Amino acid sequence: MRHKLQQRLQEAVDELCSRSLLPADSQPEIKVERTRDPAHGDFATNLALVLAKAAGQRPRDLAEAIIGALPATPDIERVEVAGPGFINFHLAPGAYHQVVEQVLTAGDDYGRSDLGGGRPVQVEFVSANPTGPLHVGHGRGAAYGATVADLLAAVGYRVHREYYVNDAGRQMDILATSVWLRYLELAGETLSFPSNGYQGDYVWDIAATVHRNRGDAWRHPAAEVFADIPADAPEGDKEAHIDALIDRARTLLGAEPYREIFDLALNSILANIRQDLHAFGVDYDEWFSERSLTESGAVQQALDRLQAAGHLYEKNGALWFRSSDFGDEKDRVVVRDNGQTTYFASDIAYHMNKLERGYDRVIDVWGADHHGYVPRVKAALRALGDDPDRLDVLLVQFAILYRGGERVQMSTRSGEFVTLRELRQEVGRDAARFFYVMRKCEQHLDFDLDLAKSQSADNPVYYIQYAHARIASVMNQLAERGLSWDRAEGAAHLHLLHESHETGLMVAISRYPEVVEAAALLHEPHQLAHYLRELANQFHTYYNAHQFLVEEAGLRNARLNLIAAVRQVIANGLGLLGVSAPDSM
RNA sequence: GCGCCCGUAGCUCAGCUGGAUAGAGCGUUGGCCUCCGGAGCCAAAGGUCAGAGGUUCGAAUCCUCUCGGGCGCGCCA
């Protein structure tokens, strides 16, 4: 409807231009908005206010002229000028009746569109280091990224969901070494575990697998392992301590066994992560390995391209990228003085690879603590001659958990973090998914565990699901009374729906496609969450005010058509948020 | 110190990229089941949109400054 009005207005503007009542080049963006106050009609545009200055006319006069040039449309009952020069559209009563039929006919597809025209978009999200289970901090990125991806798919983009697996680098070596040390302990060695090692129980589990597979084959006396290793904190430097242990593990084990432990740790944790995400309703098209970039030579290729373009230089034995030439605040190291490429170097290659794959748009969902990283990645793309605007980095702020009004402390070090799995088990997938996307992503999120768990009025998830279940229940009630829903008869009697609650609901469900569109294009799933709450509220109000199962068959079926459409919209909306729409609760 | 994000009702947050009288939920107070699920509904109270300037027909929204909170500024990933 909104698009239809925009078209009509465009025709009116063209008409006025051709009659020289407007400057020929006046082609403003025509904005048609829903009105906030029903007294202002259903839709309004500020077009006349925007054009007034260029046209040299008073806004209200211009508005009249535009209305005069507007093609007639049966859906519109009347058009009027209001306030300083707004043009308000009042729709004919029948205009909203057709939306009920549209919803029922389209079913699960209602709200979907082909706005994206099948253009390919990539969404990369979570991408947590596979050094341990996902915790609640990752949950928000998972819920947000998955929902943004689903929304984009709903409006017609071909979405590729990707997880970047950081399977190279020091953190993974620390993990592999941690596993080996735990293995030694299982084999009977006594040692003091490094303070910087991974201490979670899952490390013991992986070590146990190693011990089961290999027995004592890879056992070395603790004294040999720790010989000449620099002291751990607090006396010494914990970083130097763990690095020396990594080297020792490689030397004593040899390349092959070390790799076996490394890969076992990597794969078991990755499997765990994949399983967690799947249970959370989050699935990927691709798990992209960082190591593969090094092994395929892609990293070297990226560096060569930067070198050839003259953007690299040597300093203090390291190779630097002159990112400050491209908007970054300072230059960055890409190859360390020990010859190893940095994580950033891999990331340059990775993003180059993404763009080369031909996506229209590449979306990265990152934790807000990585925001300082954005300029350097964009700088690299610019230096490589790519368009950095094809990359959208969406920063997600932290979620803070509350239980009993107290902040839940999370500490990865101690291994006492709350995992995503624990959260799901405690509050359920539906509540978790919903709560995570209830807020704008750049807003800090207070996650109240007690509220998410409570099956009560103040829990928005249950509130919305309850509306859905209530409608299903009405349908059951209908059958119990020996009646059935006649959709055709309902469709023929939609004109009987003239209660304010009814027109309100029809307006609401007609808005749904616009909400999905906005939520998708602006990457703001919270808009959909809020919309669904409002829709549920309108339904509950209607439910309390009017009886659906009335004697008169025409009215009864018309109302059933309406609430069936509401149920459909709630189900579609919750589906996009990864939340179930149960028939009974 | 520099950079990014945030500041709206007692609390948690919306506010549709500059529109008309700033809205919800929770909490508080008072009402509503012989009726389709009370996990619901209705009503009331509650605001200097952190503060000060500016831009214009019009600002919670855009610009500048100040104050307050979060995060980031590695040859870590």
A302-341 confidence digits (pLDDT tens): 999 999 999 999 999 999 999 999 988 889 999 999 899 9
| Partners of A405 in the β-ladder | none
Determine the distance between A394 (CA) and B73 (C1') in angstroms: 19
Does the structure show a pLDDT above 50 at A415?
Answer: no
Residues A310 and A371 in one domain: yes
| Partners of A395 in the β-ladder | A366
Q: What is the pLDDT of residues A246-296, one digit of tens each?
A: 999 999 999 999 999 999 999 999 999 999 999 999 999 999 999 999 999
- Per-residue confidence (pLDDT) for residue A290, from 0 to 100: 95
Q: Strand B: which positions are within 7 A of a protein CB?
A: 2-6, 12-21, 23-27, 32, 35-42, 57-58, 70-77
Q: Which of A359, A377, A396 is the last residue of a domain?
A: A396
Lowest mean pLDDT: which of A84-88, A411-415, A490-494, A554-558?
A: A411-415
Residues A83 and A132 in one domain: no
Once rounded to an integer, what is the mean pLDDT over residues A408-421? Answer: 64
A369 — pLDDT class (breaks 50, 70, 90):
confident
Does the structure show a pLDDT above 70 at A229?
Answer: yes
Once rounded to an integer, what is the mean pLDDT over residues A466-477? Answer: 95
Residues A45 and A142 in one domain: no
Task: Return left, alpha or beta for A397; rule: phi > 0 is left, psi -120 to 50 is alpha, else beta.
Answer: beta
Residues A384 and A470 in one domain: no
Which tokens belong to A21? 């009542």
- Per-residue confidence (pLDDT) for residue A242, from 0 to 100: 93
A431 in a structural domain: no
Residues A155 and A291 in one domain: yes
Q: Which percentage of chain A shows pLDDT scores above 70?
A: 97
A25 — pLDDT class (breaks 50, 70, 90):
low
Q: Which of A354, A379, A396 is the last residue of a domain?
A: A396
Which tokens belong to A531? 């919309």
- Cβ < 7 Å from strand B, A residues 341-370: 342-344, 368-370
The CA–CA distances, whole Å, from A225 to A39, A233, A242, A245 equal 80, 18, 12, 8
DSSP string across A515-548: HHHHHHHTT-HHHHHHHHHHHHHHHHHHHHH--S
Among A46-60, A347-361, A399-413, the range of highest mean pLDDT? A347-361
A134 in a structural domain: yes
Protein residue at shortest CA distance from C1' of B19:
A46
Burial of A228 (0-12, 13-18, 19+ CB in 10 A): exposed
| Widest CA span in chain A | 95
Once rounded to an integer, what is the mean pLDDT over residues A104-128? Answer: 95
Nearest-angstrom CA–CA distance, A263 and A248:
18
A169 C-beta less than 7 Å away from strand B: yes
Nearest-angstrom CA–CA distance, A535 and A358:
39
A534 in a structural domain: yes
Once rounded to an integer, what is the mean pLDDT over residues A13-17? Answer: 81
Residues A287 and A159 in one domain: yes
Once rounded to an integer, what is the mean pLDDT over residues A128-141? Answer: 89
Say if CB A1 and CB A91 are below 8 A apart.
yes
CATH code (residue A544): 1.10.730.10
Does the structure show a pLDDT above 60 at A411?
Answer: no
A568 in a structural domain: yes
> Which residue carries 């999200």 as its tokens?
A125
A495 in a structural domain: yes
Nearest-angstrom CA–CA distance, A403 and A303:
48
How many separate domains does chain A show? 3
Helix (H, G, I), strand (E, B) or coil at A493: coil
Q: What is the pLDDT of residues A377-397, one digit of tens each?
A: 999 999 999 988 899 999 888
CATH code (residue A21): 3.30.1360.70
Residues A131 and A45 in one domain: no
Which tokens belong to A175? 């993990």
Helix (H, G, I), strand (E, B) or coil at A333: strand
Q: Which of A72, A91, A110 is the last residue of a domain?
A: A91
Say if CB A321 and CB A311 are below 8 A apart.
yes
A111 in a structural domain: no
Task: Return left, alpha or beta for A112; rule: phi > 0 is left, psi -120 to 50 is alpha, else beta.
Answer: beta
Say if CB A139 and CB A564 are below 8 A apart.
no
Helices A460-480, A429-437: crossing angle, 10 deg rounding: 130
Residues A59 and A149 in one domain: no
Q: DSSP alpha helices (H): ranges in A289-358?
A: 290-295, 298-308, 343-356
A457 — pLDDT class (breaks 50, 70, 90):
low
Say if CB A43 and CB A32 are below 8 A apart.
yes
Q: What is the average pLDDT value for chain A, to the nearest integer?
A: 90
Residues A81 and A143 in one domain: no
Residues A518 and A381 in one domain: no
Say if CB A269 and CB A180 are below 8 A apart.
no
A409 — pLDDT class (breaks 50, 70, 90):
low
Q: Which percentage of chain A shows pLDDT scores above 90?
A: 64
- Per-residue confidence (pLDDT) for residue A534, from 0 to 100: 93
A427 in a structural domain: no
A404 in a structural domain: no
A26 — pLDDT class (breaks 50, 70, 90):
low
Q: Say which nucleotide is closest to residue A548, CA to C1' distance.
A: B36
Does the structure show a pLDDT above 50 at A111?
Answer: yes
Residues A134 and A70 in one domain: no
Q: Say which nucleotide is closest to residue A166, CA to C1' distance.
A: B77
Q: In which domain, by residue range, is A358 found?
A: 120-163+283-396
Residues A302 and A388 in one domain: yes
Q: Quick one: which of A532, A567, A529, A569 has its CA closest to A433?
A: A529
The CA-to-CA distance between both ends of chain A, in Å, stands at: 36
- Cβ < 7 Å from strand B, A residues 48-67: 49-50, 53
The CA–CA distances, whole Å, from A130 to A126, A164, A268, A289, A462 equal 11, 10, 9, 11, 34
Determine the distance between A449 (CA) and B27 (C1') in angstroms: 18
CATH code (residue A358): 3.40.50.620
